[in-house]
Every structure is written in C-alpha cells, then in structure tokens.
C-alpha cells in the first residue's frame, strides 16, 4: 500500500473532524476583527483538501519506507519535542516555549551553524508572538 493513501485518509479525517469542532466555537456578532472560527475553519478546509488530494493522487513511496523513517531517531525525537511543547503551552511563556521548540527542532533536524541557532529561533518566536498578540489580538501565555 502507498503511504500517501493512509496519510491522506488520516488528514482528510482530521480536517473533517476539525470542521465539525469549529462549528461549536461561539462567536460574537459585534466582534471587530476576524471571528474565532476563521483560522480553524480555513485550516480544516486546507487539511480536508490536502487529504483528499493524497487519497486521489498518491505518490510512489511505500508505507514501510515511511514507517521506518518515522521510527528512526529524528522522527521520534521531533514527536517528543512537539508533544512537550503542546503539553506545556499553557504554562510556559509563549516566546520562551516557541524559542525552545524551534531551537530543539533545528538541532534535531541537523542544523549546527551557531549563527542560525542563535538568531532564527529568537526571530521566529518574537515575530510569531507579535503577529498573534498585536496583529490578530490573540492573548498568548506570558510570564508577566
């Protein structure tokens, strides 16, 4: 079996499930910015369309090749870092948590240039924080 068909089915299911969950988000009619449903709804559509595409037009990669690569050290390490980031998101300052997630992910994926490891995680965490906090006016966890 091709790996893309299984991944496509999983992504399609996730997109449809997210779409159903988004319909349960309460919104205010008088909200001056985008509603709380906008980004999750857009993501659900992107996921569903991407999953459907993978189901219809799978690539040539066999499932066992993908599973072997995912279970290799880098895949498991990334999954562990992502899980830690997700579980501590509420309790850790967004800027620090995102910085730690980015730097650890870069290290796991093989980045060893010290200038990249110093500058890029700081820029990603601060720019993402500024976009969501002041652009979208979304409150993020901070230690202030």
Window from 39-48, 67-76, 83-92 with minimum mean pLDDT: 67-76
Contacts 24+ apart (CB under 8 A), 14-22: 14/47, 14/51, 15/43, 15/44, 15/45, 15/46, 15/47, 15/48, 15/49, 15/50, 15/51, 16/44, 16/48, 18/43, 18/44, 18/47, 19/44, 19/45, 19/48
- Looking at the structure, tell me whether residues 34 and 13 fall in a common domain: yes
Inform me whether the pLDDT recorded for 123 exceeds 80: yes
Residue after which a domain boundary falls, among 52, 70, 88: 70
pLDDT for 46: 95
For the whole model, what pTM was predicted?
0.63
Residue after which a domain boundary falls, among 70, 94, 118: 70
- For 131, the domain range is 72-138
Q: Considering the domain boundaries, does residue 143 fall inside one?
A: no
- Looking at the structure, tell me whether residues 79 and 64 fall in a common domain: no
- Choose among 15, 5, 76: nearest CA to 48: 15
Work out how many domains the chain is built from and give that number: 2
Residue after which a domain boundary falls, among 49, 70, 91: 70
- Looking at the structure, tell me whether residues 59 and 3 fall in a common domain: yes
Q: Considering the domain boundaries, does residue 131 fall inside one?
A: yes
């Amino acid at each position: 079996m091709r790996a893309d068909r299984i991944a496509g089915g999983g992504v399609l299911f996730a997109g449809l499930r997210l779409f159903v969950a988004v319909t349960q988000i309460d919104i205010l009619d008088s909200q001056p910015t985008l509603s709380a449903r906008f980004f999750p709804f857009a993501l659900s559509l992107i996921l569903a369309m991407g999953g459907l595409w993978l189901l219809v037009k799978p690539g040539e990669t066999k499932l066992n090749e993908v599973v072997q690569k995912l279970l290799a050290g880098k895949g498991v390490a990334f999954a562990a870092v992502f899980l830690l980031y997700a579980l501590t998101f509420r309790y850790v300052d967004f800027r620090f948590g995102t910085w730690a997630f980015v730097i650890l992910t870069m290290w796991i994926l093989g980045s060893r240039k010290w200038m990249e490891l110093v500058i890029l995680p700081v820029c990603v965490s601060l720019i993402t924080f500024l976009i969501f906090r002041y652009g979208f006016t979304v409150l993020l966890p901070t230690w202030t």
